[in-house]
Each structure stands twice: as structure tokens, then as C-alpha cells.
A and B are shown apart, each in its own frame.
Chain A
């Protein structure tokens, strides 16, 4: 009897392990796939909206407002960028794609000056619905960014859904952002 138990024990442990892993996988079945998401304490919480940066001179019309980050029925993409950032130069097509499928595109110019930002936008293209300026990086600190470029997808309910680090290409938008909207 003891012998039988010892022989069957590994099988028992194996079944438990496989079942556990299977259960874990099954709970994620409904979540869409995709890579490139970075763990962040902001994901899954309400988007912080007390700090909003400063409007660009001459672009007060497109200043970032608190309700932009929690607009019912409309997702928002908070995009941290800078003119000196090479990967940001790779992203205009992706940003346009995100804007196309309904995201409110909010650009945060991080640790840079609006002059250089405007020059960069002339080269790269401007599809932003909102523009704000974070000169000293405090807004970036609130969101806990490591650097630029980074993007936060905020759902229509105002909850941060995903954080993307690195250049935003159209195929990345398709794979890593759309399913979460």
C-alpha cells in the first residue's frame, strides 16, 4: 500500500500542477494577447488627473483638461514624448492610427521646450487632440515613466488599461492597444 502511494504520488503532484497552470491560463483566456506591456502601478487604477502640465504657448485651445482623461465613451492615449527622442520619430504613423480608431490623442512634451516640440511636429506630423508641456518632468513622475516614449491607454471609464514603452507603430497599435479598448 505504501509502495502504491509512493508510486502514484509523483503523478498526483503532476496532475495538481498541470491543473493549476491550466486554471491560471483559463482565467486569462478572455484577456487579449500581446506583448510589450510593462508592469505599472498605474494600470488598473483611475488615471491621475490632478497634475496636467502646462499648455503650449499659442495652443491653449488644445490644453489638456482633467475630463479628457475620463471622458465617457471615449478612450484616451496619453503619450509622453520629446523632440530629442529617436523612437518618437518612429511613432507618427502609429499615433495617427490610434487617433483614427477613436482615441483622444494627448501629447505630453517631456523635459523639452515648446519651440523644439513645435519644430519636431513640423517634421513628424501633428495629429494630437491635446498638447501639454511637462518642463521639469513632474507629470512624468506622477505617471511613473522611465523615459520617453511611453504611452498610457485610458479607457472610457477613466481607468488606466495599459502602458506601452517604446515606439508606437501601427502594427503595435493593432496588436497591443486596440484589443484593450
Chain B
């Protein structure tokens, strides 16, 4: 079926059609009188075509159609089906198809939800469609995955490395691409606003979900990659400052800064130019990062190889898009109104400091990655920039950002007083000093002490934020999300410092022998041979028992040989726990005794938990709010004193203030069969809420009718208590799954 089938040709047709569709979509959105409906339809068409192309490619991999060059180079019939399909996006060409497909879906989503963006909506759609067109053009002209193999070259596939055959590695690239697509959307939304010359609070609120989505995807993608490395490579490392890792870190840093900036624009209309520039920079870092990885300029375990001509084409694409954005800023940036001035010691000032700090971190990471290449081009000297440099150069910056994160989230906008901050944020210092002192007493080195102190400072900052929000009643979903995310950063910081204190020991043990390490007895039970689906292995069964306890865990560590690929891998055994991970890595055998590398990684689980906290927190903080009254509930017009019945409650308009400047209503809600009532206030943009048990009763004012009545939307929804219960049970389920699996 494969040789005669025209699946690859159909795929190529789909790619070209998608290119035409996206160009037309760009035109529909970008013309003088935009046509949103047409843009939406064309975006949907492009998305459908690219999904078809991706499915066709996946099919070619699934059936191992070796007449397609991409399949020949990257697959092997002996690989399990799921991994074969995952191989469809593992190569440069395949990954571009996946990226384009995701961009097309994002384009369609943006086209469907461009309402909140106002005038900038169609322009943003147009910008994203232009970006998509650029990628598709590059794809069809230089990197089509549907190229056929000349008949004489057809053979068995060239497979993938068995080390890379892990489920986490299959979804790590798609997640990262999702994040990069998110930066593309943020870029388009910013460019759209520049185009119409208006960046205001409404834009900020509209852009926030897209930026949040990008940040969540990037955090998940990077976190998953790190987790895989930690689990697979066995020695406890989870970040290696590899150029390709750095290339994914840059968009994450800049999108993080963008997230805070967009939230500030939405809340107060400040930092508008920061927002636009950061959006352009985040996207630029994503595409330039990918360009670097694929251009052959870098050597890395990750790097794809391309010929320099293709690398130049990618540089043209990346450079073109970036310079277009910056050029638009130079041309139209003057039209943006400035936000209100602010003093340095204020929330605005802290956000600026945060942005500067994150951008400086990004500059150092980018510099460390690119500088050796420049030095080599200029002088031929071979400069090696490794983890030691990054840790040393970034530690002060991270410290500064951490310090800002303590009091920062609670500072007042525009201007705050230092004395007031000291009065409110006094617990920060004791927490930091206490943690530092405790770790010093337990024998930590100077960096460890400092690290724990700053991590405690950040955590206490999150606690203070939560406390004050609770106190002032401003504890909404967004607030909880922000607190959770910041606490997650603190947890990650604690974990990073703790894992630097891991203890390692190499021993040679025979069956029945044991050793004591890290408070546990490690006993080699037996050395055995085992067989797997495509490998043979020989390893040791090790029993780990706490020194002062009786319930232990048996783990298995081995060396595996894959005869077909000719590879030898080492599989480590680990006992994952909440407070530490214990691991044994097989290091070879000598005369019936096995060399084991034993290690204990303190607080390893906290690293991943903190990452999840950041993801969930960012998601909570940026998920778009249902537009008042539109999605649910009943819209009624009430005059003062009148009552409506809805959802088993009586809603009475107690008073309404119909001033044009800032109108609002007070509504009394009482249950149909009850005698008490609760009064809520509501104003446009601020629905009144009554948390009643599992439910929440909402009043959203819509408009003032000319006859003096007030249009309000009444609705009953899922209350905070219920949401919290869901979150807690999910968390409990995750922890339970962890305990069972670890």
C-alpha cells in the first residue's frame, strides 16, 4: 500500500493549501476594513489542513512507510507503535509540521475569541496568520517531510536511540512547541495593538489568558524535559545549561516577565511599552532559539543538523519577523499613551525591577550560549562555558529577584512608603534568618545557607500575600493563583538548594553484602540476568532499609544491551520519597561483585511539586473570566425595590447608583424558603458574589436602562468551596499516585 499510495503527495498538497489559506486569512484580518468572519473561516481551514498533514505524517510513521525520506531517517519497524508515531515530530521537518499545526489551531482560537481585543483583534489575527505563512513557506520550500526516497535507497529505518524511547520525551517537544506557539500569539496580540495604536487595560485583560497559556505550556515542557533527564540520566542532575536547554529557557523567562507586565497593564494601565517589547522579545527568543538549535551552529546532544543554507533561511524568517515587530514599534510606538507615573518604591517599580532582573538573567543565559561561538569566529579560541559559570553569574541576579518577591506582591500601586512596608512585611526577615540559621546549624555551606534563606523569604512573601488578600477580602481566583505560583517558586528554590547537598558514594558489593549510606542500609540481594522485549540485561536487586526502621524497598539496577541498535544503557533503581530520593546506579561487575553508585537526593520531589504549583497557579491566575452575565444566568431589569426570582432565590434591588462615572447596584439575595438575606454590591466589571455553601450566587450589572431600571445578570455557579475541594482532591490523587508509583 505504501509504495503506490499517494499519502505523501496529499500531504504536500495540504501544506501548500494551508499556506494559501493562512495568507488569505492574513489579508482578511489586515485589510482596511477587516473581515473577521472570513478570517475565522480561513483560519479554521488552515488548521484542518495542517491537522490532516500531521495525521498523514503520523500514519506514514505508524505503518513504517519507508518510501518517505523522513520515516526512513527517523524510524524503525521494531519500535513500539506509540514511539513510532511520536517519531513523526521528532525530526526537524516533522517538528515544523507539528509547530505549524499548533500555530494554525491557535490562529483559529484567536480568531474565535478576538472580541475582547476590540479593534486590535483582526490585526492580531492577521499578524499571527502572517507568522504562520512564513513558517509554512519555509516548511514547503526547504523542509518538507513528505519528500520521497529514491527507490534505490529504501531500506530498514535508522531508528532512534533507545535512550530516547521514553514517554516523557514523546510529549516534551509538543509541550514546548505549544509554549512557543503561545509566544507567537502573545506577539501577534501585541503587534495587533501596536497596529491600531492602542494598548490599554482592556487589551491587557484580553492578552493575559494567551500569555498565561504560553507560560503554562512552557513551564510544563521545560519541567517535563528536566524530569526526564533526572529520571533517566541517573546522577541527580536535572539541568545542564546545554545550549538547547538554554534556548527553551529564554522564552520562559521573557514570558514570565511578560505575564507580570500584562497583568499590570490590565490592572492599572502601566508598563505598556514594556508589555509590547517583552512580547516581541519572547517570541523572538523562541524562534531564534530554535534557529540556533537547528542551524548546526551549536553542538549539543539535542541539536538537529541542517545545512547552513537552510540555517540562513531560518535566520531570514526569524529575523524578518522580529525586525518587523521592532520596526512597527519604532514606527507606531509613539502612539501608545504612557501609563501613570509611579515612584520607585511601589508595585509598579517592583514589577519594573522584576522585568529588569528577568531580562538580565535572559541576557546572561543567551550570552553564555552565544559568546563561545562569537569568540571562536573572532579568534579561534575555544571557550567553554559550563554550569559553573551560569550558577556563579546568575546567583546574584536570582537573589535579587527573590528578594523582590518577598514584599513585592503587596506593595501599593503608584507609591508606597518604606515604613509601611516594613511594618507589614516584618515576618520576612525572621523567616529568612531562621531558615538560614537552621541550615547552618545542620552543616550547610555558605551558598546553601544563603539559598535556604532566600527561599524561605520568598515562601514567607507568598504567605503574607495570602494573609493580606484574605484580610482585605480580595482573595479571588487570580489572587490564589498568584500566591500559589509564587509559593511554587519558593518550593522550587528550596529543592534546588537541597539537591545541591546530595550525598554520593560508590561501593563494590557482592550478593548478601550491605553498606550503610544516607541513613539507610543497602543490601545486595542477588545479581541476575533478565530479558526484555528488545534488550538483555544483567543487574542487581538491592534492598534499602532505613537504619532505624524495618520497612524497606527493593530496587533493581542494571546494564542493558540492545543488540539491534548496538547500545548499552544503564538503568538505575530508585526509591522516590517525599523528603528524598534514594538511588543506586549499576557501574559494572568484577568477579561476582557489583559496583554501585549510591546516592540520596534531598527534597527531589519538591522540585516537581513546585513546578506543578507554578503551573496550576499561573493557570488559575490567567484563565479568562466569563464575561459578566453572558455565559450563564438570567438577565433581568429591576427598578429599586423590585424583586426577581431565579434559581430558588429572591433577588431584590435594594439601591442603585446610576451616575455615569461609576454606577453600581446593591442587591439583597434571600433563599426562597428562608428568612435571612445577604446584600451584595456590584459594579461593572465587579460582580457581586455570595458564597453559599458549595455554590456562588452572582450579580453582574449590565446596563442602566433609560427608564431608570438596572439591567443585571443573575447567576448561580460553582463556589470557591467546591473549587477548593476539587483542587484538593486532585492534589490528593496526584500524591497518592506518586506514593503508589514511587
Question: CA A21 – CA B285 in complex, angstroms?
Answer: 13
The yes or no answer to A29 lying at the interface (CB within 8 A) is yes
CB B576 to nearest CB in A, in angstroms, measures 31
B158 on the A face (CB < 8 A): yes
Residues of B within 8 A of A86 (CB): 561, 563, 566-568
Answer yes or no: A123 CB below 8 A from chain B CBs: no
Contact B374 A167 (CB under 8 A): no
Q: Closest chain A residue to B288 by CB distance?
A: A21
CB interface residues, B 293-337, toward A, < 8 Å:
295-297, 299, 303-309, 311-312, 315, 318-319, 322-323, 326-327, 329-330, 333-334
A42 to chain B, nearest CB (A): 12
B472 at the interface (CB under 8 A from A): no
Most buried by B among A15, A18, A26: A18
Report whether A33 and B306 are in contact in the complex, using a CB–CB cutoff of 8 Å.
Answer: yes
Return the contact of B305 from the options A28, A35, A89, A169 (Cβ within 8 A).
A35
Q: Does B277 contact A (CB under 8 A)?
A: yes
B591 within 8 Å of A (CB atoms): no
Minimum CB–CB distance for B360 against chain A, Å:
15
A-B contact count (CB 8 A): 88
- CB–CB B566/A167 < 8 A: yes
Whether A11 lies near B326 (C-beta < 8 A) is yes
State whether the Cβ of B373 lies closer than 8 Å to any Cβ in chain A: yes
A90 within 8 A of B: yes
- Return the contact of B312 from the options A11, A22, A87 (Cβ within 8 A): A22
Q: Do A18 and B322 form a contact, CB below 8 Å, given A24-B374, A24-B377? A: yes
Please tell me if A113 contacts chain B, counting CB pairs below 8 Å: no
Q: Closest B residue to A20 by CB, please name it.
A: B374
Q: Return chain A residues, CB-CB under 8 Å to B334.
A: 3-4, 7
Within 8 Å of chain A (Cβ to Cβ): is B382? yes
Given contacts A10-B277, A86-B561, A87-B567, contact A25 B304 (CB under 8 A): no
Shortest CB-to-CB span from A63 to chain B, Å, is 29
Cβ < 8 Å to A, chain B residues 201-258: none
**Chain B residues positioned under 8 Å from A29 (CB to CB):** 308-309, 312
A7–B312 touching, CB < 8 Å: no
| Contact (A18, B315) CB under 8 Å given A24-B373, A39-B299, A171-B158 | yes
For the complex, what is the distance from the CA of A24 to the CA of B311, rounded to whole Å?
Answer: 11
| A11→B299 contact, CB < 8 A | no
Q: Contact: A25 with B312, CB < 8 Å?
A: yes
Q: Which of B296, B374, B565, B567 has the most CB of A within 10 A?
A: B296
28 contacts between A and B (CB under 8 A): A10-B277, A10-B329, A11-B323, A11-B329, A14-B284, A14-B319, A14-B323, A15-B323, A22-B312, A24-B297, A24-B377, A25-B297, A25-B311, A28-B297, A29-B312, A31-B308, A33-B305, A33-B307, A34-B305, A35-B296, A35-B299, A35-B305, A36-B305, A38-B299, A86-B563, A86-B566, A167-B566, A171-B158
* Further 17 A-B residue pairs, CB within 8 A, beyond A7-B330, A11-B326, A37-B299: A14-B284, A18-B319, A18-B323, A21-B319, A22-B315, A24-B297, A25-B297, A25-B308, A26-B312, A29-B312, A33-B296, A33-B305, A34-B305, A39-B382, A86-B568, A89-B566, A167-B566
List residues of B whose CB falls within 8 A of some A CB: 158, 277, 280, 284, 288, 295-297, 299, 303-309, 311-312, 315, 318-319, 322-323, 326-327, 329-330, 333-334, 373-374, 377, 382, 561, 563, 565-568
